[in-house]
Each structure stands twice: as structure tokens, then as C-alpha cells.
A and B are shown apart, each in its own frame.
Chain A
Amino acid sequence: DAKTTQPPSMDCAEGRAANLPCNHSTISGNEYVYWYRQIHSQGPQYIIHGLKNNETNEMASLIITEDRKSSTLILPHATLRDTAVYYCIVRVYSGNTGKLIFGQGTTLQVKP
């Protein structure tokens, strides 16, 4: 699975959009981009995933560049409860293994 690079930390004002970047320059054609987040003392929570098209769900939007070498997770109206570590994961489904390889993630601090 390709390696991802994320900034270690970011701040965001409550009510504003939070834009979390992720670089995955070695991504290959059959690899998906996944985002999970982990709120303090809880297990990770799935947010969204995509292959090459932009995706949106009730939690967030995922913007993937045309060359697929980077992506941005957008939380449109951040709340204090969105304070968490956000993990960008690039994953290929091959054979029988569906494991996730977590990096260090980005710690997002939403401030009032």
C-alpha cells in the first residue's frame, strides 16, 4: 500500500470549514483513499473513501486531485466534537487481506 503524508496538527475555528490535506504521490491505479478519525480514547471511526471521483456524505467531502497524488478531506462546518486525529489511508484490496495501515495522522483541534 502506498505511503501517505499528513501535517501533524491543524487548528480550525468552530463553524468554519476544516480542510485536511494528504499526499499520496506513489498511489497506484487500484488503490483507494480512505479517511478515518479517532476521537480521544475511542476506536477509529470511518469517514469516507474514494478512488478518483470526489465524494460527499453526511460527514464530509473528499476531494481527490486529477493525478490522484493528493487529496483533501473537508469538514464543512467544524464543531468542537470534530476534534480528533484524522488518518488518511491508501489501501488496495488484494486477495484475502483488508488490513488498514495507519500513519501518524493529523491532530485537528477545533477551537471556539
Chain B
Amino acid sequence: GAGVSQSPSNKVTEKGKDVELRCDPISGHTALYWYRQRLGQGLEFLIYFQGNSAPDKSGLPSDRFSAERTGESVSTLTIQRTQQEDSAVYLCASSPASGVYNEQFFGPGTRLTVL
């Protein structure tokens, strides 16, 4: 079946512009995660959605970052007034639920370059 999809695959923007990154999780997966991976680094957790519960935003690095999720489907990560340090691959993952037994399925990521 279809996996997690993300769009765009690549995004180049100028410093100060806003960007929106999209994630389509696997159908039926109630949990959705956003991570960031800077060049040569491990993944950093950003935000997590689980059903109708309040999202865990503890990983968002600043108030320029926000994310929304429509029900249990698509999610959008928005970065306002982009800075060069925002350049990274942004990865989305979904899982059937948030329980410890459930693996996370990752999308291919969106590579963001801020000039």
C-alpha cells in the first residue's frame, strides 16, 4: 500500500520568506510526527499529533514554527520568516497509534534550502 508521502521533495527559498511543507500519512494512522535533520546530524523531534489530543509541541525550536493536522489525515508544517539555520531535511512519520509497540513509518522528507 501507499506509504507516507511528503511534498515538495525539495524547496529552495529566500531568507525571510514563509514556507509550507505537507505530509500525507498512511491511511488509518492516528499518530503523526515531524522531525528535522540537519546535514550530517541525527533527527530532531519537532511536533507530534495523536487523534484529537493536544499536540506535543515541545520540539518546535521557535515560534516561527507551527504545524496543523486535519483530523487524522494531512499535516502541514509552516516555517515563517525562514532563516539560513532552518535549512534541513524535514521528515514526517506516522504510526497506527502512539503506543510503544507501534513502529513509525517515515516519509522521504522535504529538503529545505534557505538562501
20 contacts between A and B (CB under 8 A): A42-B108, A43-B91, A43-B107, A44-B43, A45-B106, A46-B103, A91-B100, A96-B53, A96-B98, A97-B48, A97-B58, A98-B99, A98-B102, A98-B104, A99-B45, A99-B59, A100-B45, A100-B104, A101-B45, A102-B43
Contact among A45, A91, A99 for B33, CB-based, below 8 A: A99
Q: Scoring A residues 91 to 112 as 1 if CB is less than 8 Å from chain B, else 0, what string do you get?
A: 1110011111111110000000
B42 at the interface (CB under 8 A from A): yes
State A62–B48 Cα separation when bound (angstroms). Answer: 28
Q: Are A99 and B108 in contact, CB atoms less than 8 angstroms apart?
A: no
Q: Scoring A residues 11 to 34 as 1 if CB is less than 8 Å from chain B, else 0, what string do you get?
A: 000000000000000000000100
State A101–B91 Cα separation when bound (angstroms). Answer: 14
Interface size in chain A (residues, C-beta < 8 A): 21
Chain B: which residue is nearest A85 at the CB level?
Answer: B42
Chain A: which residue is nearest B47 at the CB level?
Answer: A99
Q: Are A100 and B31 in contact, CB atoms less than 8 angstroms apart?
A: no
B69 → chain A closest CB, angstroms: 14
A interface residue numbers (CB < 8 A to B): 32, 42-46, 49, 87, 91-93, 96-105
B45 → chain A closest CB, angstroms: 4
Q: Are A96 and B50 in contact, CB atoms less than 8 angstroms apart?
A: yes
User: Which of B4, B95, B103 has the most C-beta atoms of chain A within 10 angstroms of its own C-beta?
Assistant: B103
State A62–B43 Cα separation when bound (angstroms). Answer: 22
Chain A: which residue is nearest B106 at the CB level?
Answer: A43
Contact among A92, A98, A102, A105 for B98, CB-based, below 8 A: A98
Q: Are B91 and A98 in contact, CB atoms less than 8 angstroms apart?
A: no
Besides A96-B50, A96-B54, 4 more A-B contacts (Cβ < 8 Å) are A98-B50, A99-B45, A99-B56, A100-B104
Q: Are B42 and A98 in contact, CB atoms less than 8 angstroms apart?
A: no
State A101–B42 Cα separation when bound (angstroms). Answer: 9
B93 at the interface (CB under 8 A from A): yes
User: For window 78-115 of chain B, which residues contact chain A by CB distance below 8 Å?
Assistant: 91, 93, 95, 98-100, 102-109
